[in-house]
Amino acid sequence: MADGWRDITDPTGYPWESMTPGPRLAQVLAECAPASLPDAARVSYLAATERLAGWVHVVQAHALVAVADAVEAATSPGPGKVDSHQATWVADEVAAALHIAPRTATVRVNAGAAVVRDWPVLGQRISDGSLTVAQARAVYESVAVLAGSHDAQGNDLSDVAVRDCLRFAAQLPPARLRERAGRVVSSLDPQAASRRRERAERDLTDISLWAENDGMACLAARGPSVDAIAVRESIDSRAKAMRAGAADGDERTLGQWRHAALLAAFGLLPTGRPAATPSAAGDATTGHTSSTASSTGPGSSDLAPRPIDVHVRVTIPLTTLLDLTDIPGELEGYGTIDADLARALAADAEWIRWVTDPVGDYLLDEGQRRYPGARLARFLRSRESRCKHPSCGVRSVNADADHLPAYAEGGRTSAAGMSPTCPRHNRGRVASGWQVHEEGPRDPHGPPDPVWTSPLGRSYQTQVPPALALDRIPLRT
């Protein structure tokens, strides 16, 4: 999804738009048939049902906690004593009542406790409609690793992280919120973040396989994020080169070519599929990196690994690089990485320096050119991580350098007039009914700040956070 957006649609005057979630809102919504409403009001009705569902979630969370307390009291071995099996007995009680699996019951009880007992401010925000259940979950699951740790003033770090996250949580989708929350968590206790990464690398790195329907299976590799990103980029580059060298009439999808590229690394061919033409695949690749392991399997002479240019992009603050602070870095395609790992990667890397105006990130203006040059296009994709459209999660590396407003409508080929927009939301904008326009004053040197109007008349303004979104700066003492 985009980094964040706000619904700036003018109120339509229907009562549910301003009502606090609760029984009265439920009654008002139940008395109205959404299919009878004007288009824009149907969307506001839908948003009201989401707020009401959040309120119900918190009501049930209180019930789950109350049942858990009652079971623990009924099964206690004595005053002030606990039994290690009580959590399973709570799960059995809840599972029987709700017709769910005990494991699911445990998840539900823990989620209820998170917003009722552990971080009640999250439950309050859900209840009043200012935070969705998914947003609250993204916060408490991210900050839970800090519970029990304290700062110099004695404050629980998880409580500090929740307060920090609530400053921006309401305007972010859950996936982006997890990234920002992870950055806050890493900033609050950078040494613990480094230890957690090292422990996870030791305990969780592995290869897994499980069966799926229709003769399919999933092979999953879990390992350090930098390695995973490098492998993915290598597979993607090799797959595109192999597709370019395929015989006429080979209609394999890019996904199938990625699978073929993975097999090719081990000297294997996909079952029942031909190899790509060696010369064409080789001609389509460039590079200076990559070791070439020997291949002995079927088709190794055709699909042996060839050099591929793979870029793993890491953004790191200068103060972290100079070991003055422990502000986390950012691994493109993954998210936050702890300061120790960021410094280690920077120590053995080819650097690209971006120097930007801290106010507006203004860099280039190429006037009336129809298409941006390579330098401007690279800057746009580095400045904004994802497609500009609300709800779209396509990364900017796969997006078009789009004029906002459109070039035909006077859009300039400049850093202030262009943003990454995925091909679907760029080239299909007219057909989809979405409209883009600027509304109100904006930074003349910053990125476009457009309002997107949906086919049903709702208006959304996307937001572009500054690089690394420094929500907390942990200076050394």
Asked whether residue 173 is assigned to any structural domain, the reply reads yes
Domain boundary among 165, 188, 211: 188
Asked whether residue 54 is assigned to any structural domain, the reply reads yes
Lowest mean pLDDT among 186-195, 405-414, 424-433: 405-414
Q: Are residues 160 and 228 in the same domain?
A: no
Name the residue with higher pLDDT: 96 or 463.
96
Asked whether residue 99 is assigned to any structural domain, the reply reads yes
Q: Are residues 139 and 88 in the same domain?
A: yes
Q: Give me the pLDDT at residue 115, please.
A: 97
- Burial class, 196, CB count within 10 angstroms (exposed 0-12 / middle 13-18 / buried 19+): middle
Report yes or no on whether pTM surpasses 0.85: no
Q: pLDDT tens digits for 76-133?
A: 888 877 778 889 999 999 999 999 999 999 999 999 999 999 999 999 999 999 999 9
Would you list the DSSP string of 46-99?
A: HHHHHHHHHHHHHHHHHHHHHHHHHHHHHT-SSTT---TTHHHHHHHHHHHHHT
Q: Are residues 146 and 293 in the same domain?
A: no
Token pair in block for residue 140:
């408490």
Q: Are residues 184 and 229 in the same domain?
A: no
Asked whether residue 353 is assigned to any structural domain, the reply reads no
Residue 1 carries which DSSP code? -
Q: Are residues 285 and 422 in the same domain?
A: no
Q: What is the mean pLDDT of residues 193-222?
A: 94
Q: In angstroms, rounded to a whole number, what is the distance separating the alpha carbons of residues 59 and 80? A: 28
Name the residue with higher pLDDT: 313 or 363.
313
Residue 384 has pLDDT above 50, yes or no: yes
In this structure, the dihedral spanned by the alpha carbons of residues 69, 71, 75 and 81, taken in order and rounded to 10 degrees, is -10
CB 469 within 8 A of CB 180: yes
Q: Are residues 279 and 416 in the same domain?
A: no
Confidence band of 194 (pLDDT split at 50, 70, 90) = very high
- Burial class, 182, CB count within 10 angstroms (exposed 0-12 / middle 13-18 / buried 19+): buried
Q: Give me the pLDDT at residue 162, please.
A: 97
Q: Give me the pLDDT at residue 272, please.
A: 74
Confidence band of 469 (pLDDT split at 50, 70, 90) = low
Residue 205: closest CA among 227, 185, 181, 173: 227
Instruction: Provide the mean pLDDT of the chain.
Output: 83
Q: What is the mean pLDDT of residues 378-386?
A: 80
Name the residue with higher pLDDT: 372 or 368.
372
Q: Give me the pLDDT at residue 284, please.
A: 36
Amino acid at 10: D
Asked whether residue 428 is assigned to any structural domain, the reply reads yes
Name the residue with higher pLDDT: 389 or 137.
137
Residue 298 has pLDDT above 50, yes or no: no
Q: What is the mean pLDDT of residues 420-425?
A: 89
Q: Are residues 147 and 248 in the same domain?
A: no
Q: Give me the pLDDT at residue 188, please.
A: 93
Q: Are residues 277 and 182 in the same domain?
A: no
Q: Give me the pLDDT at residue 335, please.
A: 82
Structural domain span for residue 421: 374-462
Confidence band of 28 (pLDDT split at 50, 70, 90) = very high
Asked whether residue 380 is assigned to any structural domain, the reply reads yes
Q: Give me the pLDDT at residue 369, please.
A: 63
Residue 375 has pLDDT above 80, yes or no: no
Domain boundary among 188, 216, 234: 188
Half-sphere exposure of 20 (CA within 13 A, CB side): 4
Q: Give me the pLDDT at residue 361, please.
A: 44
Q: Give me the pLDDT at residue 365, please.
A: 52
Q: Are residues 169 and 241 in the same domain?
A: no
Q: pLDDT tens digits for 328-356?
A: 888 877 888 898 998 888 887 777 665 54
Domain count, the chain: 3
Asked whether residue 197 is assigned to any structural domain, the reply reads no
Angle formed at CA 181 by CA 179 and CA 185, multiple of 5 degrees: 115
Q: Are residues 101 and 33 in the same domain?
A: yes
Q: Give me the pLDDT at residue 297, please.
A: 41
State percent of the chain over pLDDT 70: 83
Confidence band of 312 (pLDDT split at 50, 70, 90) = confident
Asked whether residue 351 is assigned to any structural domain, the reply reads no
Confidence band of 223 (pLDDT split at 50, 70, 90) = very high
Q: In angstroms, rounded to a whole number, what is the distance separating the alpha carbons of residues 400 and 411? A: 15
Confidence band of 280 (pLDDT split at 50, 70, 90) = very low
**Beta partners for residue 175, in sequence order:** none
Q: Are residues 228 and 181 in the same domain?
A: no
Q: pLDDT tens digits for 148-171?
A: 999 989 999 999 999 999 999 998
Residue 362 carries which DSSP code? -
Confidence band of 309 (pLDDT split at 50, 70, 90) = low
**Beta partners for residue 459, in sequence order:** 453
Domain boundary among 276, 303, 330: 303
Confidence band of 431 (pLDDT split at 50, 70, 90) = confident
Residue 245 has pLDDT above 70, yes or no: yes
Q: What is the mean pLDDT of residues 20-43?
A: 95
| Residue at token pair 């078009």 | 400
Q: Are residues 385 and 289 in the same domain?
A: no
Q: What is the mean pLDDT of residues 187-216?
A: 93
Residue 411 has pLDDT above 90, yes or no: no
